[in-house]
Structure 1
């Protein structure tokens, strides 16, 4: 009786490692972009929850937002990417930016991110 061995050859193993390596490398480029976007969203929520924020002028709100981003080491969002407009009794803060990172040789990965946060006055505790 002849027994056949089954399994992966060395060349097959090297090819699988190469494919996994390429995906891992792409993940190392993409994950920081999405992590930074998460930081932007968390900073917007924190600014919206700041007491008395609706009484502040847009320049002060933008300053508070960028201070939170500075603490989080976020570098992709610039002042020209942030728009603050009046909406009802508060503001609408829109952040729209693009991140471009080199991938391999002349190929780039481009991430386009956009998020909004409404800033409203808190209701009075007794008025419902």
Structure 2
């Protein structure tokens, strides 16, 4: 009595398809990770500014200098002075950083990240 057992498992072609799909998502992740890492650095710099005593009574130009010193340490290169806006608030300032990052993906297809962060800066430093 000959009984043939059916083989189970993934074929070479299926394995290559899975490998290509996983590789593509890893490639996209490698393009996205630095953008989000930079956004985290921007938000951290903004929060550390909010903890400075008397930051709300400083002039916006001085606050912007302090922000860019912190961003320089974190190698942030996509945030420009034109992306930083200040609005007067009754007890200080509201700082808004709105910027866009564009990275080439494949050929003429780009990955675009738009980031918008807001931080209140009070006269006492901490609310």
Normalised TM-score (structure 1): 0.93
Alignment match, 1:83: 85
From 37, 40, 48, the counterpart of 1:38? 40
Cα separation, 1, equivalents of 2:57 and 2:70: 19
- Cα RMSD of the aligned pairs, angstroms, is 1.1
Cα separation, 1, equivalents of 2:91 and 2:5: 80
Residue 111 (structure 2) pairs with residue 109 (structure 1): yes
SS of the equivalent of 2:116 reads strand
Cα separation, 1, equivalents of 2:32 and 2:41: 15
Alignment match, 2:16: 14
Deviation at 1:56, TM superposition (A): 1.2
Q: RCO greater where, 1 or 2, for CA within 8 Å and sep 6 or more? A: 2
- Count of residues in correspondence between the two structures: 123
Gaps of 5+ in 1: 124-128
Normalised TM-score (structure 2): 0.94
Alignment match, 1:92: 94
